Amino acid sequence: MNPRKLALDAIGKILNKGGYSNIVINEYLNKYEFNEEDRKLFTKLVLGTVEKKLTLKYYLEPFLKKKQKSWVLNLLMMSIYQLIELNIPDYAVVNEAVEIARLKDHYVASFVNAVLRNFLRNDLRSFDNLNEIETLSIKYSYPLWLVTYFLKDYDYEVVEKIFQEFDKVKNDAIRVNTLKTTKDEVIKILEENNIRFEESIIVENGLVVKESLVNHKLFKEGKIIIQDLASQLVSEIIDPKEGSIILDLCSAPGVKASHLASLMNNTGEIYACDIYKHKLKLMEENFNRLGVKNVNIQLIDARKVKDFVKEESFDYVVADLPCSGLGVLGHKVDLKYHITYKAISEIIKLQKEILESSYMLVKKGGFFIISTCTLNKLENEKQVEAFLENHPEFEIVYQKTIMPYEFHTDGFYICKLRRL
């Protein structure tokens, strides 16, 4: 199969039909047989073209005299992405694009050929005629409204550093599962397999690896789990005592619950709740693989949890809240085109409902932990400020927003409250 032709089809599903990149890519990888080289090229073309859509369209504009069909525009964007970003000979890119165009509509082939050759004869279009906000939008390919939304919370230089970090290729972070092994044992195995890694400076059992380990025996045997370092920090900040009773809201796929279980050495009880029934099976499979034995999985809407549990029942209540995901835009490359201001407003309302339904379940002297993978202060600091105004019986013992560029992690917010 031609990986470029399939990539073009996948890009159309994402950009023109509202598909999500991870779902669409997995659909194609499972449906068609790729060799390893074509598999990598297909994935890179889809993710790269989608991620850089606004930049690529900007570069193309001078060469397009009228509006084109969506597939033609996508083909041209995919082609100039290869010309700019990938180490592929120019003639190969142009020839492949012309051939794909000829198969879909032979009248378009000559047009595609002319545009790409004209593009190669000219320098890349300058950003000099754009204002500062437009420059951020086009240079890093973020919708103008979203750039402005970031700028309400952070200085221009900080926002650019965030976007620059999202642009970088991010290596996988793993957490050593201490229920089954030790960090020293995992490091020894990595060294024996010539797998490059770095130790984390922000969490105890986190490592950053230079290649995917999802097919490695360490992963299959449950000795490691793929988890961003900032996400790992949440459970370390919670720091649960052995024998504790914990409620983990919005828990699926259970990564943080499994971390809490390891920190507690499988003692106490963790109630891991989620609203989606199909995710409970995934949680169960993950817990079995990781050797987690102290977690009780529950199908519960976090907005209604107080209807099922007595007040002051838990030493720790963990609310990993639904959020806009503005801290994970680096690897959810299409999220920036799907998210809307209205959706964020609805998310903020949902967060408040969850907090108001769960705070009373914390024992006096216990802890209420709030976390998100977003950088939006209305979902983070301001949400907590509003909560504390209504509930002065809680106090902040830890609060931090982790910027992506600080430790090359996802953007994350963590707040630990104590009930007085």
Question: 66, exposed or middle or buried, with CB in 10 Å at 0-12, 13-18, 19+?
Answer: exposed
Mean pLDDT to the nearest integer, 105-113: 92
What does the alpha-carbon distance between residue 247 and residue 418 come to, in Å, rounded to a whole number? 15
In the chain, the percentage of residues whose pLDDT exceeds 90 is: 96
**Predicted local distance difference test score (pLDDT) of residue 98:** 96
What does the alpha-carbon distance between residue 387 and residue 282 come to, in Å, rounded to a whole number? 32
Quick: pLDDT tens for 358-399: 999 999 999 999 999 999 999 999 999 999 999 999 999 999
Residue 373 annotated to the active site: yes
Query: CB–CB of 246/316 below 8 Å?
Result: yes
Structure tokens at 328: 């994970």
**Predicted local distance difference test score (pLDDT) of residue 151:** 98
What does the alpha-carbon distance between residue 287 and residue 192 come to, in Å, rounded to a whole number? 27
Mean pLDDT of the chain: 96
Mean pLDDT to the nearest integer, 413-419: 98
In the chain, the percentage of residues whose pLDDT exceeds 70 is: 100
Output the CA torsion sign for 75, 80, 86, 90.
Answer: positive
**Predicted local distance difference test score (pLDDT) of residue 106:** 84
Q: For residue 402, name the pLDDT band (cuts at 50, 70, 90).
A: very high
Quick: pLDDT tens for 138-175: 999 999 999 999 999 999 999 999 999 999 988 999 99
Given the residues 250, 273, 373, 415, the one annotated as active site = 373
Lowest mean pLDDT among 168-172, 269-273, 333-337, 404-408: 168-172
pLDDT score of 290 more than 90: yes
Measured CA angle at 384 (ends 360, 144), to 5 deg: 140
What does the alpha-carbon distance between residue 172 and residue 145 come to, in Å, rounded to a whole number? 30
Q: For residue 202, name the pLDDT band (cuts at 50, 70, 90).
A: very high
Structure tokens at 255: 């990564």
pLDDT score of 1 more than 80: no
pLDDT score of 332 more than 90: yes
Structural domains of the chain, with CATH: 3-121 (1.10.940.10), 132-167 (no CATH), 170-226 (3.30.70.1170), 229-419 (3.40.50.150)
Measuring CA to CA, how many Å separate 171 from each of 221, 231, 371, 410? Answer: 21, 15, 23, 11
